[in-house]
Chains A and B, each alone.
Chain A
Amino acid sequence: MELFFQQVINGLSLGAIYALIALGYTMVYGVLRLINFAHGDVYMLGAFAGYFIANAMNLDANPSILGAIVVTMGSMAICAAIGVIIERLAYRPVRQHSRLTSLITAIGVSLLLEYGGQVVFTANPRFFPQMIRSETYAIGKVQITNQSLLIIVVSIILMFGLEFIVHRTKIGKAMRATSHNLSVAKLMGINTNFVIAFTFALGSALAAAAGVMVALAIPKIDPLMGLMTGLKAFVAAVLGGIGSIPGAMLGGMIIGLMETWIGATSYSTYRDAVAFGVLILVLLIRPSGIMGSTAAEKV
């Protein structure tokens, strides 16, 4: 039984990360009907931004919670800016063209970030400084580290924060309006370019937060780290119903738990295959995902 609970904890902390990244896919899709394949690489850039900030602050030698918060905020700000720049330079010029054009542009941006990253950061893996001293709490024989706990708690806070922004603020209302119908929203006086840029900033900031938090628990970072994690988060978004925020959270958690359970069996090396198997099944059985439906509110 304790084994089961231990795996649930492992799965939830993995799933929370997928969920955070999946939110970025789902928001951009909701507003623009664009699958932003570069999103996983923004997550990678978030981890690297955090790496450089943390080293500049020499956090490895003197870890502190305050320092970790500064690093996370800094990395979120940098990635929000990167998200806006990507949208402005790569996606806006082709927004009037067919959706396939945007999709291929997204793949191009993704490859540019991955291999550009290898040029700038080199292909060697780096190890993220330990910003918070690792501590382990035990409940019976179930162990949880403060880092996993932090990942789960911060992810939940960020997701509720996002729900609040989307449903309780003016810009959130503008986002929902834009997602319903871009041209009508424009006619109603909404600055849709701003709303779209804001959506990219928000999604990229969440990916950056995920990048920094993953690096806390799993300290190896490299320029291709966003490739597999990003694809799995994309599957999580599709599973939950792309365009739906609660769906992205649920999808992320499910993928995380499934991967952990497969990892615990003798089929452990098939864990990467699980996510893609799920993608195929979802597309065959219920293409709109668990929470998605044609009438659902898209954001």
Chain B
Amino acid sequence: MNAILGRLGLLVLAGSLVISSTTGCERKAGSAGDGSSSSDIAVGFYGSLTGDGASFGQSSKEGSELAVEEINAAGGVLGKKLRLIVEDDQSKPDEASSAVTKLVTQDKVVAVLGEVASRRSLAAAPVCQKYQVPMITPSSTNEGVTKIGDYIFRICFIDPFQGEVLAKFAYNDLKARKVAILKDISQDYSVGLTDSITKNFTALGGTVLDPVSYSGGDPDFKAILTQVRGQNPDAIFVTGYYTEAAIIARQARELGMKMPLLGGDGWVGDALKNGREALANSFISNHYSADNPAPVVQNFVKAYKAKFNREPDSIAALAYDSVKVLADSITRANSTEGPKLRDAIAKLDLGGVTGQLKMNAERNVDKPAVIQEVTFVNGEVKFVYKTTINPGP
């Protein structure tokens, strides 16, 4: 084993040397085109375009591209066009931090948009903070992300609120009194959401069984599900992401567990459809509902469908809003300098596809959440609007 690890280490070292030397050359050759030139404004985007979280990355890239296109068609910002520079972090936290370092130090972007998964936002945010480049995460809900520093903003609700919403829905609407939670200990998002659900559900008077842990990428959940089945809960929370949620739903139903399954916005992903019929009787909390009749939502849904030929999920909607937020802030700041732009984002108050975006002192926004029922029709997952839950007491 030692031999293998040693060899692996050498290979990785050799590989990274080759990569860094080639990128070094490219930089020199193309340095004239880097950064914001007189005619455009460079905006950084990093996301999980490949790997386990590929659906997150693709949706947010598409949402961002649509917004950039619309802004540029309308004349751009401060008379300049926005130019989106996209980096793939392969769903890995360490890649996220190097991608953002590249965007900030080499491409000289004025602001950074991303990520979806909280763990990767947490890994990359310190880089933005260090170089004083504002970062707007469209959909990382872990409380800790914006606590990294005053250059880090988000435009979605946070997990303490999401956990409260889910706990209330399970207790009041599903009448659950004893619940189990499956958490992915390798994801800050899942751990944070689990804590919040536990706190809120207990406060309502319900019982939460000891959380059962798994680790993202595990292929088989039958052992832990069998254990949960023995305790006979009224409902099960699955606080991880969509890939595992699909398999967990399937294996739970195979073990004869028919109780409702609940999840957070992390369930929104293409691969969820592999849960198939097992997804029936599942509910999630989400940022927006594509079937909301408000014109701002329907116009966005129409434009997105025309460009990408599919219905936008909440991740795409938030990414779209994040670009609009940035454009609005640059206009108000009348500058692309980090500190000025930061101050403008801090004073944000803009109507978006996902609701009113008013920045609070913690650099978060107070937004309502929707509860959706997950249905599986004709080989596709459809989220059906159930109810809206507002923040506050």
Is B7 a contact of A107 with CB atoms below 8 Å?
A: yes
Is B220 an interface residue when CB atoms closer than 8 A count as contact? yes
Is A41 an interface residue when CB atoms closer than 8 A count as contact? no
Mostly helix, strand, loop or mixed at chain B's interface?
A: helix
Instruction: Count contacts on B: residues with CB < 8 A to the other chain.
Output: 36
Is A134 a contact of B254 with CB atoms below 8 Å?
A: yes
Residues of B within 8 A of A104 (CB): 3, 7
For window 85-126 of A, CB contacts with B under 8 Å fall at 100, 103-104, 107, 111, 122-125
Closest-by-CB residue of B relative to A138 is B256
Is B208 an interface residue when CB atoms closer than 8 A count as contact? no
Is B50 an interface residue when CB atoms closer than 8 A count as contact? yes
Closest-by-CB residue of A relative to B57 is A124
Instruction: Count contacts on A: residues with CB < 8 A to the other chain.
Output: 42
How would residues 138 to 155 of chain A score, 1 for a CB under 8 Å from any chain B CB and 0 otherwise?
100101010000000000
Residues of A within 8 A of B361 (CB): none
Mostly helix, strand, loop or mixed at chain A's interface?
A: helix
Docked pose: A3 CA to B225 CA in angstroms: 11
Is A143 a contact of B254 with CB atoms below 8 Å?
A: yes
Is B54 a contact of A127 with CB atoms below 8 Å?
A: no
Is A225 an interface residue when CB atoms closer than 8 A count as contact? yes
For window 137-176 of A, CB contacts with B under 8 Å fall at 138, 141, 143, 145
Is B226 a contact of A7 with CB atoms below 8 Å?
A: yes
Docked pose: A100 CA to B2 CA in angstroms: 13
For window 227-278 of A, CB contacts with B under 8 Å fall at 229, 259-266, 268-269, 271-272
Closest-by-CB residue of B relative to A2 is B230
Is B274 a contact of A264 with CB atoms below 8 Å?
A: no
Q: Which stretch in B110-118, B209-217, B337-345, B367-375 binds the other chain?
A: B209-217
CB distance from B218 to the nearest CB of A (A): 8
Docked pose: A75 CA to B227 CA in angstroms: 35
Is B177 an interface residue when CB atoms closer than 8 A count as contact? no
Docked pose: A130 CA to B278 CA in angstroms: 13
Is B199 an interface residue when CB atoms closer than 8 A count as contact? no
Is B219 a contact of A3 with CB atoms below 8 Å?
A: no
Known contacts A122-B50, A136-B256, A219-B274; is-contact A107 B224 (Cβ 8 Å): no
Is A37 a contact of B220 with CB atoms below 8 Å?
A: no
Contact of B224 among A136, A218, A268 (CB under 8 A): A268
Known: A107-B7, A219-B274. 6 other contacts (CB 8 A): A100-B3, A103-B3, A123-B91, A125-B271, A214-B219, A266-B210
Q: Would you list the 4 A-B pairs with minimal beta carbon distance, nearest first? A: A263-B223, A127-B274, A10-B222, A260-B223
Binding site for B on A (CB under 8 A): 3, 6-7, 10-11, 14, 37, 100, 103-104, 107, 111, 122-125, 127, 130, 134, 136, 138, 141, 143, 145, 214, 218-220, 225, 229, 259-266, 268-269, 271-272
